[in-house]
Amino acid sequence: MQIQDLPYPDPGVPDARSGPRFLWWLGRNQLGGQFKSLAWGLLHFVSVCALPFWVGLAVQAVVDRSGSRLALTGGLMALCGAGIAVGDTFLHRAAVTNWITAAARVQQLLARQAAHLGSALTRRVAAGEVVAVSTGDVEKIGWFVEALSRFLAAALTVVVVCVGLFVYQPALGVVVAVGMPVLAVSVLPLLPRATRRADIQREKAGRATELASDTVAGLRVLRGIGGEELFLDRYRRASQEVRHAAVRSARMWSLISAIQVLLPGLLLIVVVWHGVHLAREGRITVGELVTVYSAVMVMSYPLRHFEEIAMAYSFSRPSARRAARVLSLERVTDTVGSRAAEVPAGDLYDPATGLLVPSGRFTAVVCGDPDAAGRLAERLGGHPAEAGTSVLLDGVALDELPLASARTAVLVQDKDPVLLSGSLRELLDVPSSGAVGAEQALAAAQCGDVLVALAQGSLDTDDPMDARITERGRSLSGGQRQRLALARSLITDPEVLVLDEPTSAVDSHTEARIADGVRKLRAGRTTAVFTSSPLLLDHADRVVLVHEDEVVAVGTHRDLLRSEPRYRAVVTRETEEETALHNAADSGTAPQNAVADEAALRSTLDDHDVALRGALEEIEETA
């Protein structure tokens, strides 16, 4: 795999049982690149370490006054120089290719996993950890994969040179052959402590990243309550903890680096001292002494890669462990499916609560508990919290369908939809049936004022479709973001559309127009809206009340308002005294008309309250 061939057609199925197993799987999937890097590494390192042999022969040729041997060794030295240059150039190319392709494979795996898990990912893994894995951790994993082949080339070179020195000059070669393994393993006792410190640093950095992500995401809210400085202080403390951990880790690695310099120096002193004695005794020649001395001095270069591989593994192991943890997460539903890839059309039914969303109708669902409503909405979209709770679409369990078919059939827009950065045209360029255009969807979602605001705020274009939207739509108000997200969902035109509080941030007049627009645009399609807004409820074909995870009432908004106290308590937010009054009216001890008029008046007041809150929010955003 070359860089120009990226992305991978299929990144494969990773071994995510542990961090080391994941690293081993990555290495096995890049054997071609690893062998190529190993070959160029051997050429480079062997050329570097062979140079002292020819230098020694050249010195001895000068001593012996042999011009032919001097010319021959000069040619061999030139050949080694060429090998060093060519090997280093292509080693670097191959190693960087391994690094980038390994990082790209991990990023593709993480992106695929995020797409499979959907909203369940951030419920099971902190958002900051996901960010850390997909950025810094990917780089460190790629570093280990890239360093592995260079380390193997360096290790083989050390073995070859030790054997060559032992054959070339046994008296000195045996000293080098014994000393080199000692140098190679000298830092092993320090690696566990260095690894622990690196793990602590990574853990603290992950917490700081998570805290920064949460702070940025909630910055507007924090400013509103005056908590900005409080959270910034927390991040400063977390950042200082990361700095202290990084300094402690760096101290250990600096000690390892010092040992890697000190011990080869000591071996060099021993070789020179012993070699001088051998030369005085006439057991070795001057050229042989120069050869062994130069070889030991040059050997410090490949030995550096022993330190690098130890550092790369220590830094990449926790990164690989975090990546493996994310990649090992599984959906409670089957992502492959046991049925054909067809998209069924029919009633949507949740066996857990008894909720039925009839095909082709506009159904509103009222839940007293917003969290329960969110869980039910996710379950309707094929994201159950546990196995065995799958909903049925036309009698077919969603978890028996392939994931792509299930998501084509049912689309869930949660109460906090995310707008990605880019132009409005790119935002609305989503997979769709083609039956609903962008203009129709924007009109149904009442986005006229949003388009005007985007056009006025853009310096590059007058076309609102080409206006830029900042990350997560932070340049827009809450109501504007909500309406654009609704338009995006309407464009997809799924068989079943599930909306969770789609108008909670808009005023009552806009909400009424949205309810009418969505009803008309979704005519003949199945739509379920989780809401407690009387304006939306009044436009629904049927309203379902879910109480304590069970359907307890079904009817129209007006019928339930008159007959179901629990429904009134949620929709009109009546007090216990008012509930008692309604119960008395139901038993004939209080005027029924007065109770109905009171409920209608409370509903109207609630609408005005929503309108006032929406207007205040728009004023605040403008300010």
- 489-508 pLDDT, tens digit each: 999 999 899 999 999 888 88
3-state secondary structure 563-594: HCHHHHHHHCCCCHHHHHHHHHHHCCCCCHHH
What is d(CA 543, CA 567) in angstroms, rounded to the nearest whole number?
Answer: 10
In sequence order, which ranges of 437-507 are alpha helices (DSSP H)? 438-444, 448-457, 478-492
Cβ atoms within 10 Å, residue 200: 18
Q: Which of 529, 474, 471, 481 is nearest to 506 (CA)?
A: 481
For 623, residues 6+ apart whose C-beta sits below 8 A from its C-beta are none
For 374, residues 6+ apart whose C-beta sits below 8 A from its C-beta are 414, 415, 500, 530
Contact 172, 284 (CB under 8 A): yes
Residue with the larger pLDDT of the pair 175 and 361: 361
The mean pLDDT of 475-483, rounded to a whole number, is: 86
User: How high is the pLDDT of residue 455?
Assistant: 83
pLDDT at 521 > cutoff 90: yes
Contact 127, 210 (CB under 8 A): yes
Partnered with residue 555 across adjacent β-strands are: 543
For 21, residues 6+ apart whose C-beta sits below 8 A from its C-beta are 15, 324
User: How high is the pLDDT of residue 400?
Assistant: 79
The mean pLDDT of 594-613, rounded to a whole number, is: 49
Say which amino acid occupies 165: L
Q: Which of 566, 588, 585 is nearest to 576 (CA)?
A: 566
pLDDT class for 384, splitting at 50, 70, 90? low
Classify domain 348-622 at the CATH class level.
alpha beta
| Range(s) of the chain covered by CATH 1.20.1560.10 | 7-327
What is d(CA 510, CA 445) in angstroms, rounded to the nearest whole number?
Answer: 9
Name the percent of the chain lying above pLDDT 90.
23
The mean pLDDT of 526-553, rounded to a whole number, is: 92
Give the phi and the psi of residue 47 in degrees, each rounded to 5: -65, -40
What is d(CA 599, CA 565) in angstroms, rounded to the nearest whole number?
Answer: 11
pLDDT at 255 > cutoff 90: no
3-state secondary structure 259-277: HHHHHHHHHHHHHHHHHHH
User: How high is the pLDDT of residue 607?
Assistant: 52
Altogether, the residues listed in the chain come to a count of 623
CA 5 from centroid of its chain's CA atoms: 23
Which helix (H) or strand (E) segment is 399 a member of?
Answer: none
- pTM of model > 0.85: no
pLDDT at 446 > cutoff 90: yes
pLDDT at 601 > cutoff 50: no
| Per-residue pLDDT tens digits for 270-282 | 888 888 888 888 8
**CA distance between the termini of the chain:** 53
pLDDT class for 513, splitting at 50, 70, 90? very high
What is d(CA 436, CA 443) in angstroms, rounded to the nearest whole number?
Answer: 11
Q: Which of 244, 298, 243 is nearest to 268 (CA)?
A: 298
Range in 67-81, 451-465, 490-504 the model is least confident about: 451-465
In terms of average pLDDT, the best of 333-337, 342-346, 362-366, 506-510 is: 362-366
The mean pLDDT of 573-598, rounded to a whole number, is: 55
The mean pLDDT of 454-459, rounded to a whole number, is: 79
pLDDT at 442 > cutoff 50: yes
User: How high is the pLDDT of residue 356?
Assistant: 93
pLDDT class for 211, splitting at 50, 70, 90? confident
What is d(CA 1, CA 9) in angstroms, rounded to the nearest whole number?
Answer: 11
Range in 84-88, 128-132, 216-220 the model is least confident about: 216-220
User: How high is the pLDDT of residue 225?
Assistant: 65
User: How high is the pLDDT of residue 432?
Assistant: 83
pLDDT at 223 > cutoff 90: no
User: How high is the pLDDT of residue 490?
Assistant: 94
| Range(s) of the chain covered by CATH 3.40.50.300 | 348-622
The mean predicted confidence, pLDDT, of the chain is: 82
Give the phi and the psi of residue 366 in degrees, each rounded to 5: -110, 125
Q: Which CATH number is correct for 7-327, 3.40.50.1820, 3.40.50.2000, 3.90.226.10, 1.20.1560.10?
A: 1.20.1560.10
Q: Which of 85, 311, 41, 73 is nearest to 198 (CA)?
A: 311
User: How high is the pLDDT of residue 520?
Assistant: 93
* Residue 561, burial from CB neighbour count under 10 angstroms (0-12, 13-18, 19+): buried
User: How high is the pLDDT of residue 214?
Assistant: 65
The mean pLDDT of 127-145, rounded to a whole number, is: 80
